[in-house]
Amino acid sequence: MTAARVGEQRHGRVLELVIDNPARRNALTPEISAGLTRALRLANDDASVGALVLRGEGKHFCAGGNLKSLHEMQATKPRQAIIERIAAVNELARALRACGKPVIAAVEGHAAGAGFSIALGCDLVVAAEDAVFTLSYVKVGVNPDGGGSWFLARALPPQLAAELALTACPVEAPRLAQFGVVNRIAAPGRAREEALAWAAQIAAGATGAIARTKRLLEEARGQDLSRHLERERESFAEALYGPEGVEGVAAFLEKRKALFHK
């Protein structure tokens, strides 16, 4: 059996990250969580990367935690062991939100448990029409991790968030699209292609402005209006006098397409 790993592939300014553990429906391992976190943090500091696509190898996005491994941990390890293991998933959730580059989840098949949490942690979601999302934790007597409950509570109306979290019922991509959690629906088997094309369009844009905007959206969750207006003003002034602002304004006035990456 091939060892679980994180695959990487470049497509111009787009970095594709692959959860490569198809024999276990791309279940997370500590190594995969750490590998994704490292890749996201490196991409954040790499000016040649403008956007990322995250997908699973084969038929599924990610089945969440490996229950067989968790069962063995219950029997042989102290409680501290699972706390340390979940810490790796928590770092992945933080890396997804802290990355200044947009991350698009390309979801085929199932996104279950922590797999659903990871998809929710991405900025944008492209899902196959037959993709299924399940916050499956309560079925095995535990609660969500990896930010699943935090992301879900902010993405959906309270009653729907409660339905998915408290009953572990599967929800299909078209229903989530009705509430804006899934941005685009693709034909089965085409989520990766759709996500890569979208990422390429985004990556051609003003990377610095996109990073500032992502940060402002993140800060807006817990910031009062007066403080947020100040943050927007500071960021706007920084952007306007930077190379992207100079190019963007000039291109508009000259009636041409802006070239942010020459």
Task: Quote the tokens at residue 26.
Answer: 């791309």
Kindly state whether residues 28 and 155 are assigned to the same domain.
yes
Kindly state whether residues 172 and 234 are assigned to the same domain.
no
Kindly state whether residues 53 and 90 are assigned to the same domain.
yes
Q: Which domain holds residue 237?
A: 207-253
Average pLDDT, the chain: 95
Kindly state whether residues 182 and 221 are assigned to the same domain.
no
Per the structure, how many domains does the chain have? 2
- Using one digit for the tens of pLDDT, what is the confidence trace for 229-252? 999 999 999 999 999 999 999 999
Kindly state whether residues 120 and 194 are assigned to the same domain.
yes
Q: Pinpoint the alpha helices (H) of the chain.
A: 30-44, 67-76, 79-98, 114-121, 148-155, 158-167, 173-178, 191-203, 207-220, 225-240, 243-253
- Using one digit for the tens of pLDDT, what is the confidence trace for 68-106? 888 888 889 888 888 888 899 999 999 999 999 999 999
Each of the 262 residues of the chain gets a pLDDT tens digit; together they read: 567 899 999 999 999 999 999 999 999 999 999 999 999 999 999 999 999 999 999 999 999 887 788 888 888 988 888 888 889 999 999 999 999 999 999 999 999 999 999 999 999 999 999 999 999 999 999 999 999 999 999 999 999 999 999 999 999 999 999 999 999 999 999 999 999 999 999 999 999 999 999 999 999 988 999 999 999 999 999 999 999 999 999 999 999 999 999 7
How far apart CA 132 and CA 110 sit, in angstroms, is 5
The number of residues in the chain equals 262
